[in-house]
Amino acid sequence: MSPPLLPGNRNITEEEVRRILNLLPGSRRASNGVIVDNGDGTSYHITGFITSDPEMADVENLHLAYATKHEIIRLRELRTAHDYLLRVRLEAIAASPRAVRTFRKRRAQFEERGRRWTLTDYYNAQNIDAKRYVSRLSRPLQRIVKSIPYGLAPINEVNAVARRTMLGDVVMVAENLRYFFYFMNIAMYGPYSEIRTDDCIDAAIIALRIMRGSESFDFDLDPRATLPAQIEREIQSKTGRQMEFTFGHEFAHLLEGHLVDRLGSDDLRVYSHECEFAADCRAVLAADSDHETKRTLARGAFDVLLYLHFLEASARAGLLRSYSDGATHPLPLERIGRLKAALNKRYLPPPGEIEASEDAIDTMVESVTKRVDTSGRPDLLSFYGSLYLPTFTDRMKTDRIEF
């Protein structure tokens, strides 16, 4: 039998699976639970059972699969910025059946390690990149950053944001942004690890699909590739430094005093662009005085900006519907130029490396365009589901039946 998640909210047992399969013709065993066909092309996926808590509304009871009763009740009346971030996370999960399935698995793994589950504790444990960056700051800056809630969130917008709310300031980074960086790293650094060109192009396509919202949020359930251990460590290391810069950039908006309402200003474009330039620079220079740390953060910064250039070039090539709002964000290549000019040469990559990377990005856009045009699938970038790296995936699996 599967262990219960919480009293009143538990996984389906093997005995119950067998009873449903016997009672309902056309029902099928799933990886977790049972799929019951309705006969009209739709179906139910039964994964567990909920006993309603009389103290909670029906919709609140449904949230018990991925949040605790205490957390759910907290959201009846938001009091702090921490409550705001919790609500954003919870509502994003509730809006996506795949996210619910993902968090059921995450919860099971979390509890298997002997830890008591709360959604907040789970995300605190995932805050490795952000905490590493914060540890590099001076103590006075650490106190400022630690005074606000920050971390990942499973939101649809693949973005990072420092936001001023009525309850206080919050820094959020979309979980899918990390996956975007991960697959872009395979695409652009893969050749140095002898990853085949076709796999690199497919990784770039997956990255584009993540940005378009068509790549399903179920990487925990269905990894798109299993890389050799050494290559995986290298890719994750690069992804970590890019996430450090991303959090550092958003913290810089807080530290630089950018979180003010300037939407009514005629100088919005100039103000916003200068804020972005300043945040890029502060994210690198606010770190401790160790030169290697600043060099690592700078490399992460240039990677991020190059990948944003990939998105901007992809939008111009018709691979994305849109890229970003030019009223608030300057073009990535402008940001690269400003950051290069602002940093000491000791923190910069070797001469010519960034320019070569820009050319490699443009070549990758051309390769992706050719792959899309010759794939025989007009919906290659837009269909909702999963793509895989063929060299590192033994076969495609059937959703819900095998994972």
The DSSP code sequence of 216-258 is -S-TTTS-S----HHHHHHHHHHHHHHHHHHHHHHHHHHHTT-
pLDDT tens-digit series, residues 311-320: 999 999 999 9
> Mapping DSSP to helix (H, G, I), strand (E, B) and coil, where does residue 168 land?
strand
Residue 104 tokens read as: 């059921």
H-run or E-run covering 183: helix 175-189
Predicted local distance difference test score (pLDDT) of residue 58 = 86
Predicted local distance difference test score (pLDDT) of residue 10 = 72
pLDDT tens-digit series, residues 162-217: 999 999 999 999 999 999 999 999 999 999 999 999 999 999 999 999 999 999 99
| Rounded-to-10 torsion of CA 75, 77, 83, 86 | 20
Confidence of residue 268 (pLDDT cuts 50, 70, 90): very low
Residue 21 CB neighbour total at 10 angstroms: 15
Residue given tokens 């690890």 in the structure block:
193
Confidence of residue 357 (pLDDT cuts 50, 70, 90): very high
> Mapping DSSP to helix (H, G, I), strand (E, B) and coil, where does residue 171 land?
strand
Please list, in sequence order, all residues whose beta carbon lies within 8 angstroms of the beta carbon of residue 313, skipping any fewer than 6 positions away: 361, 362, 365
Long-range contacts of 88-96 (CB under 8 A, 24+ apart): 88/153, 88/155, 88/172, 89/119, 89/123, 89/153, 89/154, 90/63, 90/66, 90/119, 92/153, 92/154, 92/155, 92/156, 93/66, 93/154, 94/59, 94/62, 94/63, 95/156, 96/154, 96/217
296: left (phi over 0), alpha (psi -120 to 50) or beta: alpha
Predicted local distance difference test score (pLDDT) of residue 41 = 78
Residue 392 tokens read as: 């590192």
Residue 372: phi and psi, rounded to 5, are -65, -45
Predicted local distance difference test score (pLDDT) of residue 394 = 66
Q: Looking at residues 229-243, what average pLDDT do you find?
A: 97
pLDDT at 7 over 90: no
Residue 234: phi and psi, rounded to 5, are -65, -45
Per-chain mean pLDDT for the chain:
90
Compute and round to an integer the Cα radius of gyration of the chain. 23
Q: Looking at residues 336-357, what average pLDDT do you find?
A: 95
Confidence of residue 133 (pLDDT cuts 50, 70, 90): very high
Decide: residue 84, CB within 10 A, 0-12 exposed, 13-18 middle, 19+ buried: buried
